[in-house]
Chains A and B, each alone.
Chain A
Amino acid sequence: DGGITQSPKYLFRKEGQNVTLSCEQNLNHDAMYWYRQDPGQGLRLIYYSQIVNDFQKGDIAEGYSVSREKKESFPLTVTSAQKNPTAFYLCASKSGGASGELFFGEGSRLTVL
């Protein structure tokens, strides 16, 4: 079945450690996104990528990094520079061009101890 797979689903990290969240899609979508969701809030864009080897900062990119070496993969690294990393992270993808829905992964919940 086509879809988006995020891993891990739950992750605990000590302060000062970097952590990488995986996002893989087999929908052949051009665009991929990373969002952060805090309790009671909507989605805030961290980074997005329209094509391989290219990505743009979103509204809250500080303390995060990404890569897009393959069309299928868009990993997110939460660095120690991110001051408040505990959150729910959602990866999404979309076909390029015309308007269309975003498809979401199941999310990764990161807790910093």
Chain B
Amino acid sequence: ETGVTQTPRHLVMGMTNKKSLKCEQHLGHNAMYWYKQSAKKPLELMFVYNFKEQTENNSVPSRFSPECPNSSHLFLHLHTLQPEDSALYLCASSHPGQGDNEQFFGPGTRLTVL
């Protein structure tokens, strides 16, 4: 247990569905991240929130919409996804500026788009 939880752990959705991924961290960190991990590709940073403000949007398609209501919670809203969006979506948190910039990852959501 890293102190970062994600729900659901597995999600299967059709291309016309709307769903949301949730991430919660109990570490007192002020930065949260969404990553996408596809087979045989490096971890791809999608979004960064620092003190609830989005500081990075790594050219992610608009069918992915992040929301960060507070420093402990992060959502990724999904709509009209494509089969190539099937991947492991990882949430992480950190405390930037506090020395090591270490990121702690949640267990991930395995997403399958049919």
Asked if A and B bind, the verdict is no
A residues with CB within 8 A of B: none
B residues with CB within 8 A of A: none
